[in-house]
Structure 1
């Protein structure tokens, strides 16, 4: 299952995938979710990276019980990532490295 959302100047593709149990008899035990973020103007996100991708996400230590819950969680996490990518959030004084803020 997929969901596409535009958040500000970013396009997000969220994918939920059914996770199967260790045997065929176990069947599906839940969903994992992942997302990719790209800019709508096709400029790089960071340096020369055209997009950033999450790893497979689960709900704490368990799989999501529904595809909607997985997609909603992926969208929320993507929004968190976009907030850290925003120039307004990461603004530093000229000549000061972002790493110097720590």
Structure 2
């Protein structure tokens, strides 16, 4: 049996511009749903609002560090470049 190609994702979970966001890396976005209370808005669980795909773990880790090292304004701009309405992108993921 052939092993699946590795996949790594840099993700951002949040609810809306101006709120706290959670930035991280995962090998499976469907199973990686954060339950961090700092990213909840009025009791709502955060939505997957941004992600990038990488085949190499080191590339994903470097990108995660880059995003985390930037300003919140740059993070919001990054999200809105892909997802201007802050929709939940979980339904767009392939199985």
TM-score between the two structures when normalised by the length of structure 2: 0.31
Question: Whose helix proportion is higher, 1 or 2?
Answer: 2
Q: Which has the larger radius of gyration?
A: 1
TM-score between the two structures when normalised by the length of structure 1: 0.29
Question: Whose strand proportion is higher, 1 or 2?
Answer: 1
Larger relative contact order, structure 1 or 2 (CA cutoff 8 Å, min sep 6): 2
